[in-house]
Chains A and B, each alone.
Chain A
């Protein structure tokens, strides 16, 4: 491989790796409509790009080390670093990898972690939407029952020539009918189960959001929710201790006053 071929290979690597990296990123802004298959495809694309980059890097390194025109091992090692995608993405090799991550942003390994969290978030969101749909189905069934009951009664009235006296009277009757059905439905196993599923799914979504947020907050040096909770827990415990100490001090002061009063009484009695 000559130098030209090496740069051509690098160009090809960047084009492929860049496309792979940008593909999932481009889909993030529209994540509410994203489907998990799409996300999986994006992740797969990135995985392929990353695998290609690694393979290419290894091939280039190997060819440089074994090539007839590359007897200098120092130059080979330097070039190997240059062809390491992580070194290129993470900055120069002089920086510690952790320090680089702290200072400059994610490496590909961290992007993977971010994407996994986005995946969990999307999954939680999809679960919530499904739970809401199932709950809405229960409610829609209740509405159909109420509407059927109301229509039947209204038809019976109409057939007897006893329509509602006013639009308000008709509305009042509909409200009473619907209320009775809804109250009954709310105690049904189907309603309670589907509502519990919605609550659970919304909680899971919130926790998935917090997991992602904690990851990013940690990444950018911001306090995470868990760290704040720790602080709040300590604060609550400290407040408890302060209150207890105040009570003890007050009790001691009262005891001292009683003691002093008792001593004075005794002195007066003996004086």
Chain B
């Protein structure tokens, strides 16, 4: 029985002649040699990310607000504030010159701002999502509104940042002209509606924990460490994680441009700030476990975030192959808000591919600019 069940090694898996095998080995040697030269030639300046010129216009505590310098004549639309989450950094929207949502939007004449949450440390353990939405984000909007002489501005939320802008738009509907959400979870349990392999693992994993597990984790760490979340993301693509720095890198070595793209992406991935502890508890327990946002039960600053209070037009962009934020978790917003002006835009690619993939990122920029242009 055991003998029958035991896996047997392949008898003759490779149909290669000795000459063919030698050729393959020689090819491998050539690529490694070229790669070694590439590695020695590359300097840190070659892999700079988020290079689009911008100016610091406001800051408070660890939060900074930047305004991008225009790259094209203004369309005269209300300013757009890009809001990324606390897991990762906004630089993904401006990874490199030819893969930059920021540049695409500037080239289309938008007045663009971005908020950088900084590097929360252990000292920021008690900072909550209430602080981020009710205070920092509200202050950014107030500053931009005052600078532009407008009562309302446009918001562009990305992932967790999309949850922040959703909460803000529900709590302060009078301050938002229009809201664009990208790869944003609304119904954190909607992953169960689809059963695509590898999709929604964070949802499943978070639900496998008890609320006490989360509390103790934060008690022990003081934050949700960026490195920890990085390892959770790595688990979602297990074999890709194992082959990334050998096979994938070897493939990238064929082409300097491809190689630099690889390194820039690695640079963004490596810059993963720690998530403040109390905000992480809200994120994991109130949202991922208890799914309070879609039920309009999430409370910030003593007020309930009622999705029906969102009165501005909403463009909801999702990635069709997003394994981190499955499309159904984003699309759940439909019918839950207090406006009929709701548009969905499903783009090819995954969670990050939407922003940096050749085709998707161009569609994303023009899709957002056109939609906002019609709602100026």
Contact = CB atoms under 8 A, between A and B. Distances in A.
B10 A144 contact: no
Interface in B182-218: 197-198, 201, 204-205, 208-209, 213, 216-217
B374 interface: no
A159 B247 contact: no
Interface string A111-149: 000000000000000000000000000000000100110
Residue of A184, A193, A204, A239 ringed by the most chain B CB atoms within 10 A: A239
Given A165-B15, A184-B197, A187-B204, A232 B9 contact: no
B139 interface: yes
A178 B14 CA distance: 19
A243 B140 CA distance: 13
B24 interface: yes
B221 interface: yes
A203 B220 CA distance: 6
Contact of A148 (B7, B12, B239): B7
Given A144-B7, A175-B239, A232 B126 contact: yes
Interface stretch (B47-55, B73-81, B84-92, B117-125): B117-125
Contact of A192 (B15, B124, B204): B204
B222 A158 contact: no
A60 to B, nearest CB: 48
B240 interface: yes
A197 to B, nearest CB: 10
Interface residues of B, number: 47
Contacts of A237: 126
B13 interface: yes
Interface in B1-23: 5-16, 20-21
Contact of B14 (A147, A148, A159, A170): A170
Dominant secondary structure of chain A at its interface with chain B: helix
Interface string A195-234: 1100110011011001000000000000000001100110
Contact of B12 (A151, A158, A236, A239): A158
B60 interface: yes
A145 to B, nearest CB: 9
A167 interface: yes
A92 to B, nearest CB: 42
A183 B198 contact: yes
A84 to B, nearest CB: 41
B132 to A, nearest CB: 12
Contact of B235 (A186, A196, A207): A186
14 contacts: A147-B7, A148-B5, A154-B10, A155-B11, A162-B15, A164-B13, A167-B21, A180-B197, A182-B238, A182-B239, A183-B197, A207-B220, A228-B122, A247-B139
User: Lowest 3 A-B CB distances belong to which pairs?
Assistant: A163-B15, A154-B10, A148-B7
Interface of B: 5-16, 20-21, 24, 60-61, 122-127, 131, 135, 139, 197-198, 201, 204-205, 208-209, 213, 216-217, 219-222, 235, 237-240, 243, 247
